[in-house]
Structures are given as structure tokens and as C-alpha cells.
Amino acid sequence: MATTDRQAKTLALAHALSAAERGLAVIPLSRTKLPALRSPHRDDPSHPPCHGECGRFGHGVYDATTDPARIRALFAAAPRATGYGIACGLPPHHLVGVDLDTKNGTDPGAALRALASRHGFTVPPTVVVLTPSGGRHLWLCGPPDVVVPNSAGRLAPGIDIRGAGGYLVGPGSRTEHGTYRAAPGTAGLAPAPCPPALLRLLLPPPRAHHPTPPSAGDHGQGLVQFVLAAHEGLRNTRLFWAACRAYEDGIGPELVEPLVDAARATGLSEREARATIASAARRTGR
């Protein structure tokens, strides 16, 4: 590895550790802005979906952590890392990234201002990261009991959203197109709460309810297994997602106790689990 790449990796690790101190879970990225560690299952296409349950590195955003020792181990295993990604949707910030991209000659900043004017919200002062292409990433906090999905151009051309399961390139990362930097005066800010009117635009409309037979069956067991496979940092998010699907499919009441038991097996308290499931019931109108 060239000296400049070693320096970039050292700087990226330092920035990643600093972000972790603020409660932001991170992973190493390559110059292409993709996770720097390849999947351990890449040579086995028949391997069932794995989000890190195997215990090895290489599961993208599912490797994200705030543990300094684990971060150092991730970077040690990724010799070509020159940047770091910050996982969205995880506690304590439940980060939501608004990516304003300047590709194709669009002005996403103007589009965001138009949305704000039309729907009556103001984007509060928050962390802003400047991208090498001239775009901006706005960091916002979502509610702990709401899963904001990723989207591309759904709000307006040039506006992408990074939510649960997505990540943002952290400031200080070096890519093949340049370096990501915090906008002057914003580096010391905490991510601001997402305005409620904007949050409503980010969430998909509730799915139509189609009653199903009362038996949870294989689908219910699949949702329970989905919760059981959650590791620290994703337990509440997975439980909320599974509970939403259960209520939308008409098997929510029947799955409450199995989902609570699964959540407790992952380390959540019964109180946390029941509160999350109740939030899912409210979210789906059940």
C-alpha cells in the first residue's frame, strides 16, 4: 500500500473512533465509498442470508459498531480502507441522512426548500457534510420507534434518504473523487431532530390491510426468527419492523408473546419489547 493510502487509513480510523465517541456506529469504507471488507460468503452463493450472525467481518452496515476495540479490528482487517461509513437508524441518534446530490444539473437544495415551504417545515441547524461533488449530507435524528426507509429521488430529483440499513460517508473520509468534510460551523453540532412534517414525507404510506387466517404459520415463525437473529444495535429496529409486518398481515395479536420472547432472548427487556410492539400497532393503525 502506498504511503498516502496508509496515511488515509490512519486518518480514517481516527475520524471513525471520534465518531464512535459521539455514539455513531461505524464501518471502514474503501475509496469507492463501499464497505472495505468483502463478504465471507462471497464464494458460497447458496449460503443463507447472513447479517453477521456467523461472527465474521464483511457484512457491510451490519458490522457497524461504536466499540473502539472492534473498530480497530475492522480497520486492521481492511488494509485498503480510506474512509468510514456511519450507520443510520441505530440508537442513540437514530440517524437519518438527507443526501442532496448535484448530479444531472439538478439543484436539490432548491427542491428541499420548495418541499419545506409547501409542507410548512424548517430544517434546523444540524451537522452538514460537504461531498467532493459539491453535494451536501444533512444529519437528522429520527424517533426511536420509527423505521425510516432508504429512498432515492422519491421526495424530489437529487434528494436521497439514508435510513435504517443505510450509511453515510463520514467527514474526513478520502474517496477516489476527493475528501468529505464537515461544513464550517457544523462539526460540533448534534444531529437535530427531524421536523415532523418532513418525517411524514419520509415514511411510506401504510400498507393495505388484508386479513389472513388466524394461524401465524410459517410467516409468523419467519418474523420471530428475524428478531432472534438481531445483534446489538439492531434489536429494537428488527423487532419494530417484524411487529409492523405482523400487524399489517393480521397476525399481530397472535405474535405478541412470541415476539416478546424473541426480543428478550436477544437482550431487550420485556418492557422495551412490549413498548416497541405497541408502537408498531399504533403505526399500522391496529
Report pLDDT digits (tens) over 221-258.
888 888 888 776 678 888 988 898 888 888 989 999 99
Instruction: Give tens-digit pLDDT for 142-154.
Output: 998 888 989 888 8
Strands (E), 115-193: 128-130, 136-141, 151-152, 159-162, 167-169, 174-175, 178-179, 181-182, 192-193
**Pairwise CA distance, residues 78 & 37, whole Å:** 6
Inter-residue contact 62 to 235 (CB < 8 Å): no
Q: What is the pLDDT of residue 266?
A: 83
* DSSP element (H, E) containing 210: none
Mean confidence (pLDDT) of the chain: 88
Whether 168 and 100 have beta carbons less than 8 Å apart is answered as: no
> In degrees, to the nearest 5, what angle opens at C-alpha 165 toward C-alphas 159 and 171?
65
* pLDDT(181) > 80: yes
193 phi, psi to nearest 5 deg:
-60, 140
Would the pLDDT of 213 be above 50?
no
The radius of gyration of the chain from alpha carbons, rounded to an integer in Å, stands at 20
Instruction: Please give the pLDDT value at position 212.
Output: 44
Give 215's pLDDT tier (boundaries 50, 70, 90).
very low
- Which letter does DSSP use for residue 177 in this model? T
pTM of the model: 0.72
Q: How many Cα atoms within 13 Å fall on the side-chain side of residue 252? A: 25
The three cell numbers locating residue 80: 485498503
Crossing angle of helices 217-228/235-248, nearest 10°? 170
Say if residues 117 and 163 touch (Cβ distance below 8 Å).
Answer: no
The dihedrals phi and psi of 129, each to the nearest 5 degrees, come to -110, 130
Residue 196: Cβ within 10 Å count: 10
> What was the pLDDT predicted at 52?
80
Residue ranges of the domains in the chain? 1-87, 88-200, 217-283
Residue 200, C-beta contacts closer than 8 angstroms, at least 6 positions apart: none
DSSP β-bridge partners for residue 168: 86
Taking alpha carbons only, the member of 170, 140, 181, 143 closest to residue 25 is: 170
Element (DSSP H or E) covering residue 273: helix 270-283
Give Cβ neighbours of residue 61 (< 8 Å, ≥ 6 apart).
Answer: 27, 35, 85, 87, 165, 166, 167
